[in-house]
Structure 1
């Protein structure tokens, strides 16, 4: 009986390592090595047993990153200070996982605002924790880009994403840098239920 249980556990472990995630509606894969990661919806693995999104390395060594991201027009945020919040947990992350947020302007290679938590990445194995990025969205903004990225190996889950307008007393966290992407009119499927 013990041998049978061990075989079942072993085969279950092998099968689970080949499970692929479905991409959430409205989200896309990107990064320097997106094919080195499995990205998508982790059913029931969210902070409150709801769905979460996940990025999991599938290569043993990765000299780059993968991101699950989304873009939209900044209409309701123009001229405002915006806080992006998400809950993140990690497993065996060596190089770093992070929330990121970028504000771009039309016909420019430079971003108006950017923060990828490069100075405060999430590493190791961590439980759910809330992370925030605060950026100004100037009047000439034409695009918001945001998501979570994983550098190197490990796995990151993210959930409970929200955008809030905050006042000027809330300090910004970002700087200027980045590039452009495609655009939607509003953020979509932030709860990964689709």
Structure 2
């Protein structure tokens, strides 16, 4: 979702759309049109607001919150830690930001890896229960910003897993509630969770909570590994019935 900070991009898109209909409008005129859409008299007024509203730049290095780890497929391409220049509900949020920009960012965005700020805990206290992870997420120019929760057994990774792949935050979004609910099998050994950016852009997270909830809570993305008593259906002759 674009905001007034994307006015230049919106003006460019407007100019191209009008040109396809043989309507010629200069870039400055398109900027004025976009400014009026955001209830400003002209582009100069909106431009001044954008300049004032620009958030402070992140430093080159951030302090990691205690108990949290940097991870992902390309963690070296992401700046992660506590954003001391920002506040949400009275607290400094954590941030994950891709350090690539410009042409390098566009090339990387076509084949994205991801960077995540995460932590891992023992699962013993949660076995046999439903677990709910909540947080508030915000993103800016993000290919994708998501929260995740994964439950591992001693020998199998991700016996339960949800990373919000079916409901990611994209582009620029203000603070948005995020929630994941998973059941914790008796064989669970570890619980891992966090938030991440795929590709380019920035994501902030605030107010993480992890709590047990009633079994009536619907799981949001359970991926259960079925463990059979013995190997079966090796010739694929039996077809599973679709869920109703």
Q: Same fold (TM over 0.5)?
A: yes
Which residue in the other structure is 1:153 paired with? 200
- Aligned pairs for 1:37-52 (under 5 A) are 37-43=78-84, 45-52=86-93
Query: Is 1:99 matched up with 2:147?
Result: yes
Which residue in the other structure is 1:32 paired with? 73
TM (norm. structure 1) is 0.79
Q: Distance in 2 between matches of 1:67 and 1:148?
A: 6
- Aligned pairs for 1:58-137 (under 5 A) are 58-60=99-101, 61=105, 62=108, 63-93=112-142, 95-108=143-156, 110-137=157-184
Which structure: greater helix fraction?
2
Deviations 1:126-161 (A, max 9, x none): 111110000001111000010001001111000100
1:44–1:50 CA contact under 8 A, matched in 2: no
Instruction: Give the greater-gyration-radius structure (CA).
Output: 2
TM superposition shift of 1:47? 1.7
Change (3 A) 1:89 1:71: same
Which structure: greater strand fraction?
1
Change (3 A) 1:41 1:18: closer
Which residue in the other structure is 1:57 paired with? 98
Change (3 A) 1:112 1:26: same
2:152–2:191 CA contact under 8 A, matched in 1: yes
* RMSD across aligned positions (CA): 2.0
Q: Between Structure 1 and Structure 2, how many residues are aligned?
A: 164
Determine which structure has greater relative contact order: mean sequence separation of CA pairs < 8 Å that are 6+ residues apart, divided by chain length. 1
Q: Please identify runs of 4+ aligned residues in structure 1 that moved more than 3 A.
A: 15-19
TM (norm. structure 2) is 0.63
Q: Distance in 1 between matches of 2:85 and 2:216?
A: 37
